[in-house]
Amino acid sequence: MNENTQKLYQQGVSLWLDNITRKILDDGTLEKYITDLGITGLTSNPTIFDNAIAGSDDYDNAIKEAGKNGLSDEEVFFTLAIDDIQRAADLFLPVFKRTNGLDGFVSIEVSPLLAYDTESTIQAAKKIHAKVNRPNVFIKIPGTPEGLPAVEKVIEEGIPVNITLLFSADQYINAAKAWLKGVEARAEKGLNPDVKSVASVFVSRWDKAVEDKVSKALRNNVGIAVMQKTYVAYLKFLQSAPVQKLMNQGVFPQRLLWASTGTKDPKASDILYVKELVAPYTINTMPEQTLHAFADHGEADKLMSRTDSGAEVIFYKMMACSINHLVLAEQLQSEGAESFTKSWNHLMETIQKKRKEIS
């Protein structure tokens, strides 16, 4: 086991890979990441699948076979993605069992086109969950105002959910409440209330958004400040009476996941959003480049503060630059949804093009 990644895990942080390709499944790379680097889960999104399918011929045969059945481009995609997700989930199953079902998850997302359609999101989540048919798979649902009611209902159905596209403490709290309502509904019905969930809060997009609007002193500090504020809200949620009542009924509380943790600024540390976000009972999902960098020169000694006073100072300085972090959080969520939609549309175009080329 790599010494640096092991230290991170010993501090209570689960290290997940933010990537999936058929290549790393076929050549044993993912299995090696599990055994050698200690990753305990995996996330995916439309952009990751788009790059994997467009950038190789690894999926061509599967696309050709799926196309013979008269499937739509979206159905072809989910055929490919579900196969990859099932294989990854099987590799992580020992982790899932070892941690009593807490860790070892992989994630697959509903169509981003449904980000503002509650009922369609619920139906899509149920359909994908049934097709994947693995206990250690999260269905990713965006934490938009329309997505959160879907989260509540999907959790109530007993389906594990990764709530994505969160950018602030307030958005995190709303996502946590959606999980809580779903779990409480199960408890009231006498069902097993232990439905796993993670709340994915995006980090690096903050610093990218403000890089030309703040002083040098604030650059690459805004994302960390927002996460600090979110972490304090997370601790408060974990310590709340409703959550602890559910814990007494055997529920593992929803975990906080740090997403978008690859450093965008080439002048900043390539492990910035890992070493600064070391906190027990959290997850850090990172791209391969960041994973290798942390394995090489990772730092995991400093735990995050359990107060947000430092974050408030950063927010005050942002206001002096005419940046309201609450307004920007809403903008980033909207832009994130639009970005995933663009990636999804490009993914559909890629599959359509591939089908024509290999037919």
Per-residue model confidence (pLDDT) at position 165: 96
pLDDT tens track for 106-115: 999 999 899 8
Q: Are strands 255-259 and 161-166 parallel, antiparallel or unpaired?
A: unpaired
Alpha-carbon distance 345 to 352, whole Å? 11
pLDDT in tens, 279-336: 999 999 999 999 999 999 999 999 999 999 999 999 999 999 999 999 999 999 999 9
User: What is the amino acid identity at position 328?
Assistant: L
Locate tokens 């009924």: which residue?
A: 249
Check: CB of residue 208 under 8 Å from CB of residue 260.
no
Structural domain boundaries, residue 20: 3-358
Query: What kind and span of H or E run contains 328?
Result: helix 325-358
User: In this structure, are residues 48 and 77 in contact, taking their beta carbons and an 8 Å threshold?
Assistant: no
Q: Do residues 192 and 186 make contact, with C-beta atoms less than 8 angstroms apart?
A: yes
Query: Which CATH number is 98's domain given?
Result: 3.20.20.70
Confidence at 249, pLDDT banded by 50, 70, 90: very high
Q: Are 81 and 44 in contact (CB under 8 A)?
A: yes
Cα–Cα distance for residue pair 64/158, rounded to 1 Å: 35
> Rounded CA gap, 204 and 136, in Å?
27
- The residue type at 222: V
Total number of domains constituting the chain: 1
Q: Which of 84, 88, 103, 83 is nearest to 33 (CA)?
A: 88
Burial 247-285 (b: 16+ CB within 10 A, else e): eeeebbbbbbbbbbbbbbeeeeebbbbbbbbbbeebbbb
73-98 and 46-54 are packed helices; what angle lies between their axes, rounded to 10 degrees? 110
In the chain, what's the furthest Cα-to-Cα distance? 60
Q: Which of 7, 32, 140, 177 is catalytic?
A: 140
Does residue 67 carry a pLDDT above 80? no
Q: What is the pLDDT of residue 55?
A: 84
Position 261 scores a pLDDT of 98
pLDDT score for 69: 81
- Encoding tokens for residue 163? 């709530």
For the cut 90, the answer to whether the pLDDT of residue 357 exceeds it is no
Contact (Cβ atoms closer than 8 angstroms) between residue 181 and residue 240: no
Angle between helices 60-67 and 325-358 (to 10 degrees): 70
Q: Tell me if residue 96 falls in helix, strand or coil.
A: helix
pLDDT attached to residue 1: 87
Question: In terms of pLDDT, which residue wins out, 359 or 60?
Answer: 60
The confidence score (pLDDT) of residue 66 equals 81
According to DSSP, residue 301 is labeled -
Based on the residue annotation, tell me whether 356 is a catalytic residue of this protein: no
* Neighbour count for residue 212 (Cβ, 10 Å): 7
Q: Which helix (H) or strand (E) holds 286?
A: strand 282-286
CA distance 223 to 167: 9
Which pLDDT tens digit goes with each residue over 189-233?
A: 999 999 999 999 999 999 999 999 999 889 999 999 999 999 999
What six digits make up the tokens of 22? 């058929």
| Contact between residue 227 and residue 199 where contact means Cβ atoms under 8 Å apart | no
Q: What is the DSSP letter of 54?
A: H
